[in-house]
Amino acid sequence: MIRPGVTLVLWAAIAVLVVLNDAVGDTWIAGTLSVRVVEWYKVLVPLPYVVLMAFIHARHTSGPRWFEAALLAAMLWPPSTVLVDFLYTRLTYGEDPVSFLDRFAFWWGAPYPLLILALFSAPLLAGVAMARR
């Protein structure tokens, strides 16, 4: 069953965690570690939370239309989380869009695409796992 309200609430929880995690990484952790380590911190800490939210989403949307619900989350969570993260950096640090897009430069080791990939794939994989039960 498709439940857009559940998808929205779980996305809001993910967005709040990502923004708070970025704030912690930018303030407390950035003073002691290198930029690359802080970027990895900002990506790796939310990953288990994203997987948890995906399984909660899969549990609440299980049923005959589980795939549509998982696809809805997979299509909405990544771009909206990127938008919230961009607004955080824009409003807090005045970062321009070009420097924000440098986060996607995987060729120099930027880990941010890993978070986007997890936001896309976690609802689908959790839906498959719950549908097999």
DSSP string, 8-72: HHHHHHHHHHHHHHHHHIIIIITTTS-HHHHHHHHHHTHHHHHHHHHHHHHHHT-STTHHHHHHH
Q: How confident is the model at residue 85 (pLDDT cuts 50, 70, 90)?
A: very high
Structural domains of the chain, count: 1
The answer to whether the beta carbons of residues 73 and 11 sit under 8 Å apart is yes
- Res 35: pLDDT: 86
- Res 106: pLDDT: 77
Over residues 36-50, mean pLDDT: 94
Over residues 110-123, mean pLDDT: 95
Q: Tell me how far apart the terminal alpha carbons of the chain are, to the nearest angstrom.
A: 16
Q: Provide the whole-model pTM.
A: 0.90
- Res 70: pLDDT: 95
Chain mean pLDDT for the chain: 92
Over residues 78-82, mean pLDDT: 95
Token pair for residue 63?
Answer: 């049923």
- List the domain range (segments joined by +) for residue 81: 4-131
